[in-house]
Structure 1
Amino acid sequence: MDIRSYIRKTSGKLLAVIACASMLYACDGLIYDGEGDCSVNYRVKFRYDYNMKFADAFAHEVNVVTLYLLNADGRVVWQRTEQGEALAADGYAMTVDVEPGEYDLLAWCGTTDKGSFSIPETTVGKGLTCTLDRQHDTGNKAFVTEDLDRLFHGWLPKQTFGKTEGTYTYTVPLVKNTNNVRVVLQHLSGEAVDKDKFVFSITDTNGSMDWDNKLLPDELVTFYAWHTDAGEAGMDTQPASRAAFSAAIAELTVPRLVKGQETRLAVTNKETGKTVFSIPLIDYALLVKGFYNRAMGDQEYLDRQDLYDLVFFLDEGDRWLDTYIYINSWKVVLHNSEL
C-alpha cells in the first residue's frame, strides 16, 4: 500500500475521533442535535383564553406580569416583573434564568395603574397572597369607591426545566379575577330616571385571594359605583311616531366571583333611604349561563365571564318590577322573586 494513502486515511479517522471527543467533553458527555453550542434556554409565555370567547386576550388585557418559580419545598427561588409594550409584542415570552430542576410557576398580573391590589414580598410560595386595598369609614366598615385594576392569577405546577441543550418553553394559563358589573335602571313609563337619586353597591367578602387563587376569609367590603351616567334611547312605535326611554347607568368593579359567596347587588333610594332591590348577584348571573354553556361548570362560567349587564325596570314609585330582568341581553322571567 502507498504509505501516503495510508497516512491520509489514518489522519481522517483520527480527526473524526478527536471531533467527537471534543463534542462529548463540551456538552457534558452527550451528543446533541441543533446548533451545537450546548446552551439551555428557558422561556415562559402567558395565555388568557379562559374567557367566553375562548381566545387568547393576554396582549390586550395584561400590561404587568410578575412570575415566581417555586422549588419542591415551596420556596421562591426566582422571580421577575416585566411590563409595558413588550408584553403586547407578538411571541412575547419571559426569559427565566434558573438551574435545571422541577418548579411550580405562579403568576400575578394585570394592571397596576390604580394600585388596587398588593402582594407581599416573601420567599415562601404560600405567602404570595393578593389583597384588595380598601378604605374604612368611621364605623370601621370597609368600602371601595374606585374602579379596580385588572387582576389575573396563573398557576402551572411541576414543570421540568431540563438540562439538555435546547430551548424550553412553558405556558402559564391565566384566570381573570376582576369583573365589571353594569346596572341599568329604566322606568316602564318612559319618564326620566335621575341617576343621582340612587346608590348602587355590591357587597362581598372576596377581597383576599390565596396563592392558589382560593378566597381567604375577609371582612365584608362594599363596592360602590365608580361611574354613573344617564342616557336616552328611542324606539319607533308606529310611522312618524317615536318614543323615548330614559335610563340611569352605573358601573361597578368587583374581585373574583365564587359560587357559594353571599354576593349582593343593591340599589338604594337616597331620598327615602329605602332599598329599591337587593339580589344575590351570583345566583342571578348563573341564570343566563344558557344552553350553549350547559356543559360548563358554574365556577368555570363565573371565571370566564367578566362582564355583566343587568337591566331593571321601575314603576312610577321607583319600585323594581321583579317579574323579569335582562341579564347580558337575556330576558329572565322570574317565577320566584325570593331568589
Structure 2
Amino acid sequence: MKMLKTLSAIAAALALAGCIRDNRDDCLFPLRLHFTYLYNVEDTDLFSDEVETLCLYLYDTETGTLAASRSMTAAELDDDNSTVWLVPPGRFSLVTWGGVKSRYDIDPGMSLDAMALSINADPQTGSVAQDREHLWHNLTTDLLVNGDLTPGYDIDLHKLSNDVTVTIAATEGTSLPYHPSSSITAANGTCDAFGKIPDGTPATLYAPQVEALSRADVLPGSVHSYTTMALADGDGSHLNVDLGDTTVFDGSLTDLIGENPGIDFDLLDDFQVYFLITPGDDRLDVAVSINGWQVTEYDVTLR
C-alpha cells in the first residue's frame, strides 16, 4: 500500500511539472494535510481510533466560493494520517467534517458562510433515531497553495457530538410500577462552517435505543442510549422521563448535567444520567446522579 501511494505521488508530481511547463491555467498543486484529534479526555491523539471518514471543503478566501471538495476514508490516508490533495492555486479556508456516514447531511452552499451540516430526521415522525455516529469538525483559514514545498497544515479535529446514557432504575429490593420512557430535544441539529449552531435552529427530537435492566420477577428499569450533537449552554436541551402517567423529570438537560461541578461540555463527550427511584404507596423518591456524582434528590406524586 505504501509503495502504491509513493508511486501515485511521483506520478502526480510529474503531471504537475508538465502542466507548469506547458503554461496551462488549470494546473493543480499539492496541498499537504495532517489530521489529528487531540482535544479529548485521554489527552492523546485518538484520530486513528475514532475517526473513520473525512469530508473536505475548500473555499476561496477572496471570493468565498467553493473551489474543491473531497470525501475519503481514514484508511486512504498515509500511515501518519496525512494526505496530499491536488487543488487549484490560491489562498483558501478549509472546512473538515469527520465521521460523516449516513446520519448527517452536508450542504456546501454557494459560499463558506452558506455551508451547513444537519442531522437527518425521519420525515414522518420528525425524530432522529439512535445511531452512534459521532461528528468532528475543523475550520482552518489562510491556507496558501502555490506549488512551494511547504511542510503542510495540521488539521486538529474537534468533536461535535455526545453520548448521553439515561438510566432509570429501581432501588435494590423494589420494583418500578411502570416501564420508563424518555426523550431528549435540543436546538442543536445544524452546524455552520464555523462549527456553531445558527440562530433560529429548530429543536431536534432524539429517540433512544432502550435496553431493559433485568432482575427476576420485578421491573427494575431500563437504559436509554442517545447520541446527540454537542450539548452546550443555551442549546434549549430538554430531557423528559416518565413512568406511565407520572413525570419523573421534565427540564433542561444541559442544566441538569451542569449540576456536576466537574462537567466541561467542551471537553467531555460521554454523559451518564442516572435516576435511582424508590417507589412508595403514592409517591416516588428520586435521586439523580451525573457521571457518578449525585446532584439532586426529590419526590414526585405517583399518578
Residue aligning to 2:98: 109
Residue aligning to 1:86: 76
Alignment of 1:286 onto 2:251: no
| Deviation, structure 1 residue 192 | 4.1
Alignment of 1:145 onto 2:123: no
Q: Tell which structure's C-alpha radius of gyration is larger.
A: 1
| Deviation, structure 1 residue 94 | 2.4
Find the residue that maps to 2:231 and give its secondary structure. Answer: coil
Q: Distance in 2 between matches of 1:172 and 1:193?
A: 49
- Identity score, percent: 24
Mark the CA change 1:320 to 1:97 in structure 2 (over 3 Å): closer, same or farther.
farther
Question: How many residues matched?
Answer: 269
Amino acid at match of 1:259: D
Amino acid at match of 1:133: N
Mark the CA change 1:207 to 1:320 in structure 2 (over 3 Å): closer, same or farther.
farther
1:275-296 CA distance string (max 9 Å, x none): 1212311112223242xx7xxx
Q: CA RMSD in A?
A: 3.1
Q: Distance in 1 between matches of 2:297 and 2:175?
A: 25
Mark the CA change 1:269 to 1:246 in structure 2 (over 3 Å): closer, same or farther.
closer
Q: Distance in 2 between matches of 1:261 and 1:334?
A: 25
Q: Distance in 2 between matches of 1:188 and 1:225?
A: 23
Mark the CA change 1:111 to 1:261 in structure 2 (over 3 Å): closer, same or farther.
closer
Contact 2:30–2:145 under 8 Å retained in 1: no
1:95-126 CA distance string (max 9 Å, x none): 121344322111112041xx211012544222
Alignment equivalent of 1:161, drawn from 145, 169, 182: 145
| Deviation, structure 1 residue 167 | 4.1
Question: Structure 2 regions of 5+ residues with no counterpart?
Answer: 1-19, 21-28
Residue aligning to 2:241: 267
- Give the TM-score of the pair, scaled to structure 1: 0.70
Contact 1:231–1:249 under 8 Å retained in 2: no
Amino acid at match of 1:86: E
Alignment of 1:251 onto 2:196: no
Question: Structure 1 regions of 5+ residues with no counterpart?
Answer: 1-27, 29-39, 233-243, 294-300
- Give the TM-score of the pair, scaled to structure 2: 0.78
Contact 1:45–1:94 under 8 Å retained in 2: yes
| Deviation, structure 1 residue 128 | 2.1
Amino acid at match of 1:119: I
Amino acid at match of 2:121: R
Alignment of 1:172 onto 2:162: no
Mark the CA change 1:268 to 1:246 in structure 2 (over 3 Å): closer, same or farther.
closer
Alignment equivalent of 2:119, drawn from 111, 122, 132: 132
